[in-house]
Amino acid sequence: MRDDKQTTHFGFRQVPVTEKAKLVRNVFDSVADQYDLMNDLMSFGIHRLWKRLTIFLSQVRYGERVLDLAGGTGDLTRLFHPRVGDKGEVVLADINAAMLRRGRDRLTDEGIVRGVRYAQVDAQCLPFEDDTFDCITIAFGLRNVTDKDKALASMYRVLKPGGRLLVLEFSKPTSELFGKVYDLYSFKLLPLMGKLVAGDPDSYRYLAESIRMHPDQNTLKGMMTKAGFERVEYFNLTQGVVAIHRGYKF
């Protein structure tokens, strides 16, 4: 039984474990309408390159089944769709209904209908059968999960043997000097952009804090290995601001 007094981090704050999911949901309810625009502004558009590299490293082929976990507004699903073709399937999944709805509307407007399903799910307890997917991606979502070890174990369970997990997430800059510049940008400019564009500086302050609380590259590699993944490796992007971790289930 979970101890109601157990706490976890929400940004830099300590909150009861039972409350974190609700707090995270409130953040993404708030930012959903401006999410794509803010991604472009915050990353100067580079997030599109990070996502394309994730697709490349996924090695997804025609006819495969892909789970785009924490898929939000559907950027990765949109890129996976032509790769899996009419014999494959992409499941766009997110715990947040507002984000999932925005992703579905966006893809439908673009004519992407066949071969895509939508599911509102919790990464910690995925409602899929064992050995279901050839590939799972989670982009900029793992840091918001309360129990990351439980989520990684759940992802491992629903992957087919030979399947792979790719985690695209903010990480730790490899240069101390660049890290200081990045801190200044994150804690000063991001909340200001959030205020001016989305009218919500607090949500973007949380996003900056959640990045700092996320495990660094080697720690996450160890967590994936502990969950059962093999040949785990990571690729630093933009001087380690972002990293792609890849692991296989054999």
| Binding site residue list for S-adenosyl-L-methionine | 73, 94, 122-123
| φ/ψ of residue 205, rounded to 5 | -65, -40
Backbone dihedral region for residue 195 (phi beyond 0: left; psi -120 to 50: alpha; all else: beta): alpha
Name the binding residues: 73, 94, 122-123
Q: Which of 109, 110, 132, 108 is CA-nearest to residue 118?
A: 108
Max CA separation in the chain (angstroms)? 49
In which region does residue 62 sit, left (phi positive, over 0), alpha (psi from -120 to 50) or beta (all else)?
Answer: beta
Non-local (6+) Cβ contacts of 249 within 8 A are 156, 159, 160, 161, 162, 163, 164, 165, 228, 229, 230
Q: Which two tokens stand for residue 133?
A: 């997917």
